[in-house]
Amino acid sequence: MKAEPVKRAFKFRFYPTEVQAAELLRTFGCVRKVYNLALQARTEAWYQRQERVNYNATSALLTAWKKTDELGFLAEVSSVPLQQTLRHLQAGFSHFFEGRAKYPKFKSRKKSKAAAEYTRSAFRYRDGHLTLAKMTAPLDVVFSRPLPEGVQPTTVTVSRDSAGRWFVSLLCEDASVAALPPVADVIGVDAGVTALVTLSTGEKVTNPRHERTDRARLAKAQRQLGKKEKGSKNRDKARAKVSRVHARITDRRRDFLHQLTTRLVRDNQTIVIEDLNVAGLLKNHTLARAISDAAWTELRSLLEYKCQWYGRTLVVVDRWFPSSKTCSACGHVKASMPLGKRVFHCERCPLVLDRDINAARNILAAGLAVTVCGDGVRPQRSTPARQSSAKQKTQPARAGLSSLQGGEEVKWRTPGKRWPSRPGSTRDPAAHR
């Protein structure tokens, strides 16, 4: 059976000439300007006149902006990236009204990612040479691996990170990604700080702590940055040094997570993880730095798409499931289990087990219950004294699957976001749909 093509991005580094760099930087600035203008127009149209402004309306506004003396420079760059940023803004509003994201924010020149997206009409890719619109010479791309044979990119995204490195991402529909041979192994994964993941088999993967490894180097670069005068060229150079240290940490962390998740997906048919509230955990200022360095959200994202690609099953157990307080042997639930206690001692049976291994086994058991009955796992816990029963009702169990197939993942519902309030304004999100 022929494999269904999947959207796959191939990211490479390239080295532009001075002319190409100037053209791309000009395009980045125009993309950011159009995005901010369109966001401002949509927001003001609703709050001041209760008018609906969608993608078509902002596209017409873009045409009008190009004809003005103040914004005439927008016509000097390719129009495709400008149209694409309007589509991205429309997608941002759609995600906002469906409760998957917050209200779109304005792009900052220093904090926002510098990127531009080109569709097929704005680039040419032939024989390994990539040429963008408004450019006569192809980009000097370092292809670290070949694209799938006979596959042409559908979109090209050019970006420049804070460390000054240039990247190009080629999005292709790859039919060479096939499901892995089925295996009988299933595994539960408990995420942690000291051990990045603890598996139900008893194996612990030590957290490399990439940020801690380069902390001294990062601190030195930040001290030098703090001594430079604001607005000076020396401050820009110092800021670039800080960005390079951050880029080194990010690259090493991502490489490690790719290797780990690939091994888990290759060796196991079903992977059970826990639905962690990372945003809430980051509010703990004692552990926030370590949790950020562990990158649990990125770990889960990698597992999600790799399971989908290779025909594996990812089960997500409800975040309220007391995996650390439950005995994996008899099912007894402790009243409390402080973080300082690293060994689980059951009060009803002779089980004495490492805390994280016990939690991983409980997560696996919850996932197996899902695969057997096809229903959610309802946490068996009493209502905490600081919570009311009404508050509990707003936290449904999220470790359920109606039907479990290869590559499926548990879906959960994110509470909807409210329209940002302003004095004297009328809220009607439907007006912006």
What integer pLDDT is reported at residue 277 of this predicted model? 92
Tens of each residue's pLDDT in the chain, 433 residues = 456 788 999 999 999 999 999 999 999 999 999 999 999 999 999 889 888 889 999 999 999 999 999 999 999 999 999 999 999 999 999 999 999 999 999 999 888 889 999 999 999 999 889 999 999 999 999 999 888 888 899 999 999 999 999 999 999 998 888 899 999 999 999 999 999 999 999 999 999 999 999 999 999 999 999 999 998 999 999 999 999 999 999 999 999 999 999 999 999 999 999 999 999 999 988 899 999 999 999 999 999 999 999 999 999 999 899 999 999 999 999 988 888 899 999 988 999 999 999 999 999 999 888 765 554 444 333 333 433 333 333 333 333 333 333 444 433 333 444 444 444 444 444 444 4
What integer pLDDT is reported at residue 64 of this predicted model? 95
What integer pLDDT is reported at residue 371 of this predicted model? 64
What integer pLDDT is reported at residue 395 of this predicted model? 34
φ/ψ (deg, to 5) at 45: -60, -35
Amino acid at 433: R
Q: Does the pTM of the predicted model rise above 0.85?
A: no
Q: Chain-wide mean pLDDT for the chain?
A: 85
Place of tokens 């490479």: 12
What integer pLDDT is reported at residue 402 of this predicted model? 31
Angle CA(209)–CA(360)–CA(327) in degrees, nearest 5?
A: 130
Angle CA(352)–CA(356)–CA(358) in degrees, nearest 5?
A: 45
User: Angle between the 215-227 and 233-267 helix axes, to the nearest 10 degrees?
Assistant: 160
Place of tokens 């399971």: 307
What integer pLDDT is reported at residue 2 of this predicted model? 58
**Active centre residues (catalytic):** 190, 274, 356
Q: Sign of the CA dihedral 107, 108, 113, 115? A: positive
What integer pLDDT is reported at residue 339 of this predicted model? 87
**Spatial CA neighbour of 148 closest among 301, 258, 309, 7:** 7
Cα–Cα separations (whole angstroms), residue 9 to 114, 162, 300: 18, 21, 18
